[in-house]
Amino acid sequence: MPASPPLPPELLGVVARHWGFTSLRPLQERAIHAAVAGRDSLVVLPTGGGKSLCYQAPAAARTGLTVVVSPLISLMKDQVDGLTRIGVAAARLDSTLTAAERAAAAEDIRRGAVRLVFTSPERLVNTDVYRMLRDAGAHTVAVDEAHCVSHWGHDFRPEYRQLARLREFFPGAAVHAYTATATEQVRRDIIDQLGLNSPDILIGNFDRPNLTYRVLPRVDSLGQVREVIDRHRGDAGIVYCLRRRDVDDMTAALKAAGYKAVPYHAGMTPEDRRRTQELFASEDADVVVATVAFGMGIDRSNVRFVAHAGMPKSIEHYQQETGRAGRDGLPSECVLLYSGADFLTLKAITEKSAQEAGAAPEYLAASLRHLDDMARYCRGAVCRHKALVGYFGQGYEADNCGACDICLGDTQEVPDALVVAKKILSCVARVKEAFGIAHVIDVLRGANTATVRSRGHDQLSTYGLLKEAAKADLRDWVYQLIGQGVLVQAGDEYPLLKLNARSWAVMRGELEVRLIQLARQPARGERPEGGDRGTGVLPAGTDPELFEILRQLRRQVASRLAVPPYQVFPDTVLAEFARGRPTTPDAMRRVSGVGDRKLADFGPTFLQAINVHCLRTGLPTDVPLPPTAVGRVPAAAKVSVRMSPKKDLAFRLFRDEAALADVAHQTGLTRATVTEYLAEFISVEKPASIFGWVPEDVCERVAAAAEVHGTARLKPVFLALNEEVNYDDIRVVFAFLAARGEGA
């Protein structure tokens, strides 16, 4: 599609005045052009891509009314509150309004006092609300979460299907459909169902380069989730579980371990769910443990991790849920803990729900196909970034993304996988296909149980064949074989393992199988290789202490106004304040994301805090803006978000060449964290020697291996040294080589 002509200066002025943006992303410009020109459009922008601005900005710049159809009350409320906060007149029509509030909103709409009205598809179609909006001059209808209209989508909602009547209700209006996730088939269905007339079809890039994706075998849900949280202590995150009871159990376990975790699922009362949302939005809770019901309408941009304790129902769900991490563009981490049991559980749930709801056969078939696509993604050996964008019909050029479990080497193939598979399948045959997974595992591991002995299974040739394998690994391998269709689990209440033709093909060596396992189990709190991509970081030159001061100030201001902190300033704006340290309103106004209203409301308070901090520390102020692309994280070196007193103490001890054990003891930090600080200390202060921390002979071995394998990844050097040198020592030597300009 040819480039759009420049947007009208008056519209750009509205964007700068209200939102504080001096330029837009190319796809946003084209979407706004379609809205201004009155052409229909379908806009597919992944989460964080700026969809809402595509319909909000034209509405704010034009007379008349834009109707926004939204599926959730919380989503409507957040958008209306946010627009009102920056000086854009907006209203909502939903069931939470009192009679007086509804009357006031209706009066504002009739007299032309609002530019945007948010409502649900049910209210728009099943009441006379559409007449009032039509009579008020509605010239545009924006359908948010438009994938809900499609039978082929991952989140079909029957009420959205009724939006086919939009042309009847608003015959002269332009209709725009917006969604974050839609395959080509779903896009075609959206166009058909909404009756879009020759729409502009605008598809954004589905890749999220700031996200690190990990799909790991689930061996210990709680322990693995805690490892993710510990890598992001003090930051916001979401943990998704399959079932309500899983949410309750995980939340209780995390709270007992001292984490600020809260639950969210459909079995809770509306008041309790609203309380969870408020705690998370106000930054009074760090972790939400939830079913998929949580997330839509939560506009907290600084979510640093999303962990799935089980497989999502579709790749679209996965893309949408992981997309809630790193919406501010800063690096964040997405970890999916997978077991083949997830597919079987979700398949049973889906079939039962479809039967109870009397769903059409094609809907059930589409749901099961989504499940199968998701399971294949989990089992895949292809770069996760490449697999995700490929699913949505786009290409990925890089050979190694450097930001997923496949490219980082978090998982590895099980040695002699075919032999292992033959042993498992043979055991199923030996117990005459009459037992479930637990019993087969007991036999393979040589368990001395009464059940095994009473059936004489301790005399089988397969007894103890895999006694060295961990029970969790063996269970996961069984599910991997089921997922590959070479083993069958049959029955409902007490499912049994059964063989099929593919099973015998494997046992005859005619069919290959692939089994994977975790490459290594890091200690809790240890950052895995590539973990620097999955933690909150700030641009070089940012003062972490000032950033934290501004975050605390933001919480105080938001609490006083009873609004979510992000509605004051997002983290990206605070980061720029802490980097550029503006001391005048003009300098602060030049920061992207600071509009006139926010400058007037919050500028003096934040300017005072910046001035006080800079006077105390002697830091330079009014540092010029870096020449970086709009919406991108600066490509310069990054520093960690927080500079704590413990890190300062660690640096002082390092200057005195204190041993790692002494530093860990005096700071109370783990060895892994101390090692991380040491690597940072070496890169900043460039000591002449590191022999006080890593023996000279070890340094020489690591340096020699690095000449062959480079310093881009730790694992190749670890393996080249026969796993005799630990990752901490390798990391320290790599930092020293980089400081001397010898890293590769």
pLDDT at 645 over 80: no
Share the mean pLDDT of the chain: 85
Q: Are 32 and 81 in contact (CB under 8 A)?
A: no
Question: What are the beta bridge partners of residue 539?
Answer: 638
Q: Are 73 and 80 in contact (CB under 8 A)?
A: no
CA distance 389 to 384: 9
What pLDDT is attached to residue 101?
92
List Cα–Cα distances, 612 to 545, 615, 617, 643, 648, in angstroms. Answer: 13, 5, 9, 18, 21
Each residue's pLDDT tens digit, 9-45: 889 899 999 998 887 887 899 999 999 999 999 999 8
Least confident residue range of 55-69, 403-417, 642-656: 642-656
What pLDDT is attached to residue 401?
83
What pLDDT is attached to residue 2?
52
Q: Are 500 and 598 in contact (CB under 8 A)?
A: no
Q: What is the DSSP letter of 641?
A: S
Least confident residue range of 105-119, 233-247, 534-548: 534-548
What pLDDT is attached to residue 192?
92
Question: What are the beta bridge partners of residue 201?
Answer: 42
What pLDDT is attached to residue 644?
57
The mean per-residue pLDDT over the stretch 72-82 comes to 85
The answer for residues whose C-beta is within 8 angstroms of residue 29's C-beta and 6 or more apart is 4, 7
The mean per-residue pLDDT over the stretch 316-337 comes to 89
Predicted model pTM: 0.65
**Region of 672 on the Ramachandran plot (φ > 0 left; ψ -120 to 50 alpha; else beta):** alpha
Greater model confidence, 744 or 439: 439
The mean per-residue pLDDT over the stretch 278-283 comes to 86
What pLDDT is attached to residue 445?
95
Confidence of residue 603 (pLDDT cuts 50, 70, 90): very high
Question: Domains in the chain, ordered, with CATH?
Answer: 9-203 (3.40.50.300), 211-410 (3.40.50.300), 413-518 (1.10.10.10), 537-624+636-640 (1.10.150.80), 662-739 (no CATH)
What pLDDT is attached to residue 537?
58
Least confident residue range of 70-84, 86-100, 106-120: 70-84
Angle (deg, nearest 10), helices 417-430 and 437-444: 110
List Cα–Cα distances, 606 to 114, 541, 553, in angstroms. Answer: 31, 19, 8
pLDDT at 635 over 50: no
- DSSP output for 692-713: TTS-HHHHHHHHHHHHHH-SS-
Confidence of residue 274 (pLDDT cuts 50, 70, 90): confident
CA distance 389 to 206: 6
Which of 402, 414, 386 minimizes the C-alpha distance to 714? 402
Each residue's pLDDT tens digit, 412-455: 788 888 999 999 999 999 999 999 999 999 999 999 999 999 99
CA distance 651 to 631: 34
Each residue's pLDDT tens digit, 177-214: 999 877 888 899 999 999 999 999 999 888 888 899 99
What pLDDT is attached to residue 743?
54
The answer for residues whose C-beta is within 8 angstroms of residue 366's C-beta and 6 or more apart is 151, 152
List Cα–Cα distances, 427 to 415, 458, 460, 505, in angstroms. Answer: 19, 12, 8, 15
The mean per-residue pLDDT over the stretch 552-578 comes to 87
CA distance 247 to 289: 6
pLDDT at 322 over 50: yes
Q: What is the DSSP letter of 8?
A: P
pLDDT at 533 over 50: no
CA distance 117 to 625: 37
Tokens (6 digits) for 611: 């001035």
Confidence of residue 492 (pLDDT cuts 50, 70, 90): low
What pLDDT is attached to residue 9?
85
Which of 350, 241, 279, 366 minimizes the C-alpha distance to 316? 366
pLDDT at 527 over 50: no
**Region of 72 on the Ramachandran plot (φ > 0 left; ψ -120 to 50 alpha; else beta):** beta
Least confident residue range of 352-366, 510-524, 593-607: 510-524
The mean per-residue pLDDT over the stretch 302-328 comes to 90
